[in-house]
Amino acid sequence: MTTFRPKFSPSRRTLLKGTGAMFAGLTLLPRFSLAEEEKKLNLYNWDTYIGETTLADFTAATGVEAKMDLFADNDELFAKLKGGNPGYDVIVPTNDMLERMIKANMVMPLDHAKIPNMANIDKPFQDAAFDPGRKHSIPYMWGTLGVGYRKSKVEGGVVDSWKILLDSDKYAGRLSLLGDAQNVIGVALKYLGHSFNSVDAAELKKAEDLLIAQKKYVKVFADDNGQDLLASGEVDVCQEWNGDIIQVMAEDEDIAYAVPTEGSLVWQDTMAIPTGAPHPENAHAFLNFVLDAKAGAHIADTIKYATANAGAKAIMDKSYTENTSIFPPAEIVAKCEPGLYLGEEATKVRDEIWTRVQAA
């Protein structure tokens, strides 16, 4: 079995030798490493996050049969791949998760020679702090975290501060926050004037106190359905991702989205090839295909997120490229910070804070 999993640490190996031997019979079916890859590709993606015909177009262009499986959040993606890759070729992690996966050797370095369309990448995205030299990833979409609200229910009809969500009882029982430690604690820090990625114990304590005090006015910590709560009138103000709110804005004119003036998070989803991918050649071909101007334009046109593909942007409609909900003004983006991978210790600290907030 060691032939399959060369990355085993010695301690692990001794622990598992016995069981491994037991199943040696079952494992004598190695994947054939033929010179020519079989014409298959497994994409592991978020839901509604690809062009309607992209996979079919890719098959038409390359003859590779593409299949897509979905994950609900980055943590799920990570948990699924942590123990070993069950057969995915391309994954779509967000920047901080990608950073973690690079550190854990869970993604393969890219062969840039096989992705000529990398020339299409928009200037600001050609390099990235979380992946220097874009060695492991290509940028896919980007966006912000902000406040979705119902104009008719909010005083003045405009929201410009996190105060409404984090430090006010005015809309008691009509508020929802996201359901994960990173983003809720991050914006609390931001509201208090600190960095989204702070690891300072005193600053984190202040953020924790703020959240515990505010909690009694919060109706629910919603995982990824704040936009539904808003659309169905369950809450009037919610913390959400721009793309999610844009979707419900199209159906309900009373809903609006804002990035508070204190600043927020700017995120970037990337595409990468996980270690152990069975079809790395096809994976490279797919990354190249996604960065193609026409294919990229089709994707952006379907999912309405901000693309990092300059070639695609150039051939797209003004209704998309000049939409400020999709591409926020530069001065707002300037106030936002990218989320960083802070290390396992900091993750643990934030998780404990989050448990205390929820149990308070």
Partner 1 sequence: MDNWKDNRSVFWTLAGPGTFWLLVFFILPLGFLFVMSFSDKAIINGEVSITEYDYLTGISNYIRSVDTLYLTIIWKSIWVSALATVLCLLTAYPIAFGICFASEKWKPLLLLLVVLPFWINLLIRTYALIAVFRSQGYVNLALGAVGLGPYDMLYNNFAVIFGLVYVYMPFMVLPLYATIERLDKSYLEASLDLGASQFTTFLKVTIPLTMPGIITGVILVFIPCLGSFLTPDLLGGANAIMIGNVIERQFKAANDWPFGAALSFMLMYATFAALMLRAFLAKRSAGVDV
Partner 2 sequence: MAEQMKPGSGPLDYGNRLWLKILFGVIFFMLYVPIITLVAFSFNTDRRGIVWRGFTFDNYVKAWNNSSLIEAMINSLMIAFIATLIATVLGAMVALMLWRFRFPFKGAYEAFMGLPIVIPEICMGVALLLFFNETGMMTAVVAMPWPLNLSNIIIAHVAFCFPFVAIVVRSRLVGFNRQLEEASKDLGASEWQTFWKVIVPFMMPGLVAGALLAFTLSLDDFVITFFTSGPETVTFPVKVYSLVRRGVSPEINAASTVLIVITVVATVLAMKLQAPQKSGKG
Contacts of 106 (CB under 8 A, 6+ apart): 78, 81, 82, 274, 275
Choose from partner 2, partner 1, none: what does 345 bind? Cβ within 5-8 Å by kind.
partner 1
Q: Is the dihedral of CA 49, 239, 260, 175 positive or negative?
A: positive
Interface contacts to partner 2, rule CB under 8 A: 1, 4-5, 12, 16, 19-20, 22-23, 26-29, 31, 42, 44, 47-48, 67-73, 76, 79-80, 83-84, 86-88, 223-225, 227-228, 231-232, 244, 248, 251
Choose from partner 2, partner 1, none: what does 67 bind? Cβ within 5-8 Å by kind.
partner 2
Q: Does 345 bind partner 1 (CB under 8 A)?
A: yes
Amino acid at 231: A
| Residue closer to partner 2, measured from CB, 34 or 202 | 34
| Residue closer to partner 2, measured from CB, 10 or 329 | 10
Q: Decide: 272 and 91 in contact? Cβ < 8 Å.
A: yes
Q: Does 359 bind partner 1 (CB under 8 A)?
A: yes
- Give the E-state strand segments of 154-259 in sequence order: 175-178, 218-222, 237-241, 255-258
Q: Does 223 bind partner 1 (CB under 8 A)?
A: yes
Q: Does 86 bind partner 1 (CB under 8 A)?
A: no
Contacts of 108 (CB under 8 A, 6+ apart): 136, 272, 273, 274, 275, 277, 280
Contacts of 66 (CB under 8 A, 6+ apart): 40, 41, 43, 55, 58, 59, 286
- Give the β-pairing of 218-222 and 306-307: unpaired
Choose from partner 1, partner 2, none: what does 112 bind? Cβ within 5-8 Å by kind.
none
Choose from partner 2, partner 1, none: what does 31 bind? Cβ within 5-8 Å by kind.
partner 2
Closest distance to partner 1 from the beta carbon of 17 (Å): 13
Q: Decide: 264 and 148 in contact? Cβ < 8 Å.
A: no
Choose from partner 1, partner 2, none: what does 69 bind? Cβ within 5-8 Å by kind.
partner 2
Q: Decide: 114 and 284 in contact? Cβ < 8 Å.
A: yes
Residues 148-207 that bind partner 1 (CB under 8 A): 173, 179-182
Q: Decide: 302 and 51 in contact? Cβ < 8 Å.
A: yes
HEC readout, 164-177? HHHCCCCCCCCEEE
Q: Does 358 bind partner 1 (CB under 8 A)?
A: yes
The DSSP secondary-structure symbol of 321 reads H
User: Per CB under 8 A, which region of 10-18, 113-121, 193-201, 325-333 contacts partner 1?
Assistant: 10-18
Alpha carbon distance 305, 315 (integer Å):
16
Closest distance to partner 2 from the beta carbon of 164 (Å): 24
Q: Does 143 bind partner 1 (CB under 8 A)?
A: no
User: Per CB under 8 A, which region of 164-172, 211-219, 255-263, 285-293 contacts partner 1?
Assistant: 211-219
Choose from partner 1, partner 2, none: what does 26 bind? Cβ within 5-8 Å by kind.
partner 2
Q: Decide: 348 and 272 in contact? Cβ < 8 Å.
A: no
Give strand pairing partners of 68. 43
User: Per CB under 8 A, which region of 42-50, 70-78, 110-118, 189-197 contacts partner 1?
Assistant: 70-78
As a whole number of angstroms, the longest Cα–Cα distance in the chain is 70
Q: Does 133 bind partner 1 (CB under 8 A)?
A: no
Binding site for partner 1 (CB under 8 A): 9, 11-12, 15-16, 19, 75-76, 78-79, 82, 100, 103-106, 173, 179-182, 215-216, 218-221, 223, 232-234, 343-345, 347-348, 351-352, 354-356, 358-359
